[in-house]
Structure 1
């Protein structure tokens, strides 16, 4: 019999959230490295596409007077453009295929080990905690371990690759343009992280209010026969209405704070989009960059904006997943 499935076996689970994550990630180290490599390949292929487009435009511009030589002039950048698009598809789908292999197994392993650990708790512990609440903690923790891994790999890693490759490409095209993008990226990420930390309590309160309301609805439906028997239909509706109003208020506070974040993101994105265009246009006018570099710079700014636009939301999601893991580990792993 596998020792991990022996009735007397108690899994050695860490009681600290990040150690808990690493405990499970290390079982899939090879798979995780493969997914990271594939995701880097996908992101690099995507962000290098503007470079290929810029070279194509540069080749076309240089060959305007000899139109029959256009295809020979742009043969290499055109081939690069096709390879990059093909690479993006292959790398991204291969990474997604790996996720299909890993995700169910990872979630099942976390659930299995937490349940095995729970089996060896004292009778007093089991009596003092509702079975449904413990089951919910196990489910939330296993799901959050999964989502933390995929958020880091499929959300944050592409942003790091996108910004790094973009700044390198812009450095070779124009050092001032690369510095402008670097300062913008640092400012954007720093403020997004700060705003996400500030909004996290509001998001938590909104989710908590929604959870309480769902619980009250379940209780009300479960006891509907008794409510009818004692003619308390109006009272129950009013009682439920108070929780619904609390949920509405909490949700509005969270949504308004999220809207403020979106205003910030759109305004800063506009700064990069317009700033890069005007700055690159001025550099071209001063004969400091070529047409190819001009096209690449503007295209890169649009790709960067698309990649980082929802970064605050991703920060909030990551905080929530880690919080769920901390709660689950804090209750079950002692």
Structure 2
């Protein structure tokens, strides 16, 4: 019941937008904390009440010691009845309730809700990043940043409440009490506070910097380890265990050195704090004894003062650790922001419209593209594909065929010219609607670590089981399903395929990819070496289904094995990012150009490298 009550204040998935997270630490925290500022203020208030109540317990202890010193044992309860009732209310009702309420808000709302709220928003933003964003980084490193940044932001907030806020309330209370008892008792506290401030000012910042370096070293190490695990087949195939050890070991040593540097800073602070705390306890004890000898303070006052100082001495270590952790978390958040909050290179236009596809006419108008300033890939391409036309893209590796398709899908933006579908500039349409109208089978098929059924249904999330099975049958997936069993005993459509589909052969993965494209049934179809991983028998069986699938669709097909696309309506021959030739198979052979040379040289169904 209590869990349900406190959990309702923060919905971890309550942020509905996918906008870019702020790029500075201050704005980052403000963005996520502004919506819950009422909850934060309530938590601070309840925590403050609990802390003040604890301070009052020490005052009550001093009062009781003084009352007991008066020696009136018989009339003790009658004489102090009202004060004792107030002490009972504070100790038994106010303090426990405020403490438990603040801990409930912290434990169920902030600890659980806030961190996951930040992670969820960051994940949704990163998921919508451009393709190049993921191509230029480790997936493991990016995932670690998303998880770690949310956790660190949450811990920073908790450290402010449980560390900094508690210290402020305690110090204000001690100053007020000591001034009321005897201002001279404040001398050790003021000196201690000055030393404590110097430790925070001069020592804690180095912890923040070294924590940021440790966070980056940790991310790099994780990225390298995950990279090795992801490519474990290559590691085994080339017997490079020692090489991988050496490569990951380099990052492990960096991580170890960064960790030692951070521990050095923390140890130096511990030394300074130990000296300060020793001086505070001894100084307060000496002044208390002197004032007592001069009969200027009571025994109860000495009990209050020294008990509070011992409490501060006990708290100072973990409060400093909280403050240190706060700076560490700031450093980690700042490091995470540099990865998570990168601007998205491919954005929908402000007034982006939904692509309305009626015929399927594709036009590349005087289009040019380059990955970098000195790497021109596509140059002045002019190409129009008619509704329902089947076009094959031909050329050597690096000619720009796959890049042309990636530009059509708007994985990258063109540098000049434009791409039109049914007269609509794709840069002015939403990416979601554009890609919803294009189905693609790639040469390197990666599956999600889910069931066969889930992977096929990825092409149409609302598809029925009957539709999934029909697509599987057309793509010859049902031929290998009876023998497919995962380690959990799941069979057939319910079997997990492993990370990136590693439990399946290349041909099996390709058939599942074709099945989900059949299920998607988009009006524009792109085939990038769609049957390259299939053996001849299965390819022949699936080719007829692909032919049926292509009926009534605008098709762009890429293949090195020219025999697979020779029957297309038109072949477009590319070289060095430009279009050299166009025509049917027979027309291009008759021209005796590049296509004819490639056809003549082709051996074993593949093109030689230039």
| Secondary structure in structure 2 of the residue aligned to 1:11 | coil
Task: Provide the residue aligned with 1:274 in structure 2.
Answer: 282
Task: Provide the residue aligned with 1:117 in structure 2.
Answer: 125
Rounded Cα–Cα distance in structure 2 between residues aligned with 1:291 and 1:149: 40
Deviations 1:73-117 (A, max 9, x none): 454554444333333322121111112134433233323332343
Rounded Cα–Cα distance in structure 2 between residues aligned with 1:203 and 1:160: 25
| Secondary structure in structure 1 of the residue aligned to 2:74 | helix
1:53, distance to aligned residue in structure 2 (A): 0.3
Task: Provide the residue aligned with 1:45 in structure 2.
Answer: 53
Aligned residues of 1:195 and 1:312 also touching (Cα < 8 A):
no
More strand by share: 2
Deviations 1:291-333 (A, max 9, x none): 2211111111011122222333223311222223223333333
Rounded Cα–Cα distance in structure 2 between residues aligned with 1:29 and 1:94: 17
Aligned residues of 1:118 and 1:332 also touching (Cα < 8 A):
yes
Task: Provide the residue aligned with 2:101 in structure 1.
Answer: 94
Deviations 1:258-312 (A, max 9, x none): 2232122122111111111110111121122222211111111011122222333
Aligned residues: 327
1:18, distance to aligned residue in structure 2 (A): 1.0
Aligned residues of 2:163 and 2:323 also touching (Cα < 8 A):
no
Where do residues 253-268 of structure 1 align in structure 2 (5 Å cutoff)?
Answer: 253-268=261-276
- CA 1:285/1:253 → structure 2, altered by over 3 Å: closer, same or farther? same
Identify the match of residue 19 of structure 1 among 7, 16, 27. Answer: 27
- CA 1:245/1:24 → structure 2, altered by over 3 Å: closer, same or farther? closer
Do structure 1's residue 316 and structure 2's residue 330 form an aligned pair?
no
Comparing 110-119 and 215-224, the one that deviates more: 215-224
Task: Provide the residue aligned with 1:182 in structure 2.
Answer: 190
Do structure 1's residue 61 and structure 2's residue 69 form an aligned pair?
yes
Aligned residues of 2:212 and 2:335 also touching (Cα < 8 A):
no
- CA 1:72/1:295 → structure 2, altered by over 3 Å: closer, same or farther? farther
1:206, distance to aligned residue in structure 2 (A): 4.9
Deviations 1:100-142 (A, max 9, x none): 1344332333233323433443333343333333322222222
Identify the match of residue 82 of structure 1 among 59, 82, 88. Answer: 88
- CA 1:71/1:96 → structure 2, altered by over 3 Å: closer, same or farther? same
| Secondary structure in structure 1 of the residue aligned to 2:99 | helix
Larger radius of gyration: 2
1:43, distance to aligned residue in structure 2 (A): 1.0
Task: Provide the residue aligned with 1:284 in structure 2.
Answer: 292
- CA 1:123/1:248 → structure 2, altered by over 3 Å: closer, same or farther? closer
Give TM-score scaled by structure 1 length.
0.83
Task: Provide the residue aligned with 2:336 in structure 1.
Answer: 328
1:10, distance to aligned residue in structure 2 (A): 4.2
- CA 1:140/1:220 → structure 2, altered by over 3 Å: closer, same or farther? closer
Task: Provide the residue aligned with 1:35 in structure 2.
Answer: 43
Comparing 175-184 and 201-210, the one that deviates more: 201-210
Where do residues 84-163 of structure 1 align in structure 2 (5 Å cutoff)?
Answer: 84-86=90-92, 87-99=94-106, 100-163=108-171
- CA 1:79/1:190 → structure 2, altered by over 3 Å: closer, same or farther? farther
Please report the RMSD computed on the Cα atoms of aligned residues, expressed in angstroms. 3.1
- CA 1:329/1:213 → structure 2, altered by over 3 Å: closer, same or farther? closer
Rounded Cα–Cα distance in structure 1 between residues aligned with 2:277 and 2:180: 23
1:31, distance to aligned residue in structure 2 (A): 1.0
Rounded Cα–Cα distance in structure 1 between residues aligned with 2:153 and 2:241: 43
Please, which runs of 5 or more residues in structure 2 have no aligned partner?
A: 1-13, 344-610
- CA 1:161/1:10 → structure 2, altered by over 3 Å: closer, same or farther? same
